[in-house]
Amino acid sequence: MKKILILLSIFISSISMYSQEIDRLDFNLSLRSNHLWRGITVTDGAMTDVDINYALDNKKYLKLGVWGGIGLGDTNGEHYHEINYYIHYSTGKWGVGVWDVFNSTGRLKGDKDNDIWNYDRKTSGHRFDFRGYFVFSENFPLKLDYGTSFYGCDRDEKGDQRWSTYAGLNYPIIKSKAVDLDLFCGAAFGLAGKSNFYGNEKHDFDIVNAGITASKDVSVLGYKLPVSATAMWNPSRKEARVQIATSLF
């Protein structure tokens, strides 16, 4: 009887540990009218993206994940598809992480930059980014976003790394109302003193991202669906876009 109780105890402990591990695994799904990122129109077509992540700590601050986006149709004869891998540590106040970005939209089959396994610095289609953010305080919730490309598909005409860097500010000017409103602005530059991929590729420093995001919960069949509307301008590229987006879960 004692052996049975010991085995039962071990079994229950194993189930409990397994449940804790499963609790660290999560995934999310979003829908967007287009894909805007730091002033770049990644795709003008409707798209969906999935984030699969696993928390490496009990507080779920440190996460390892895969983010993927796919177009819901062809845009200008191209079908958007992207897959990224990341490791990120984030709290309510600050966060840092490294992303491996691979967007193969429009690339030809057989080309070296369309090979998912090619990580050669000169020919890879992957781009590695260091990313971080910092929120100053609860009373002054100004958020600073930062990112630097440090390896891979961010090369000039000579094949040298440009170290394209983005720095942006985001501030909630209306909060806890029927509609929340955020104001954002960002600039880009190359740490190597060259052009960057956020702008028009002609200048070292440019304002590349400015606009507003309005967000609210919309009731759908008794479920509150978070919806956002964004108006974005990229003065460097002389482009402007609007976007409607929602997170389904």
Q: 49-63, pLDDT tens digit by residue?
A: 999 999 999 999 999
CB 86 within 8 A of CB 95: no
The answer to whether residue 204 is domain-embedded is yes
> By C-alpha distance, which of 172, 182, 175, 202 is closest to 190?
202
Check residue 9 and give its pLDDT.
58
Query: Based on the structure, what is the number of domains in the chain?
Result: 1
Q: What is the pLDDT of residue 7?
A: 45
Segments forming the whole domain that contains residue 119: 26-247
Of 90, 37, 94, 38, nearest to 64 by C-alpha is: 90
User: How high is the pLDDT of residue 6?
Assistant: 56
The reported pLDDT for the residue numbered 11 is 45
- Domain of 71: which CATH number? 2.40.160.40
Determine the Cα–Cα distance for residues 63 and 84; give it in Å rounded to an integer. Answer: 14
Q: Is residue 77 part of a domain?
A: yes
The pLDDT tens digits of the residues spanning 93-129 come to 999 999 999 999 999 988 999 999 999 999 999 999 9
Examine residue 3 and state whether it is found in any structural domain, yes or no. no
Run of H or E including 23 = helix 2-23
Q: What is the pLDDT of residues 189-223, one digit of tens each?
A: 999 877 899 999 888 899 999 999 999 999 988 88
**Domain presence at residue 110:** yes
Is residue 3's pLDDT more than 60? no
Question: Are the C-beta atoms of 226 and 244 separated by less than 8 Å?
Answer: no
Q: What is the pLDDT of residue 15?
A: 43
Instruction: Please indicate, yes or no, if residue 6 is contained in any of the structural domains.
Output: no
Report yes or no: 45 and 80 within 8 Å, Cβ to Cβ.
Answer: yes
Asked, for residue 7, whether it belongs to a domain, the answer is no
Encode 209-232: b = buried (16+ Cβ within 10 Å), e = exposed: bbbebebeeeeeeeeeeebbbbeb
Whole-number pLDDT of residue 85: 98
Q: What percent of the chain has pLDDT over 70?
A: 91
| pLDDT higher than threshold 60 for residue 16 | no
Quick check: 161 pLDDT over 60?
yes
Q: Is residue 10 part of a domain?
A: no
Whole-angstrom distance between the N-terminal and C-terminal Cα of the chain? Answer: 47
Taking every pair of Cα atoms in the chain, the longest distance, rounded to a whole number of angstroms, is 79
208 domain residue, yes or no: yes
Tell me the mean pLDDT in the region 14-26: 65
Section 164-184 average pLDDT: 95
Coil, helix or strand at residue 20 = helix
What pLDDT is recorded for position 235? 97
* pLDDT higher than 60, residue 17: no
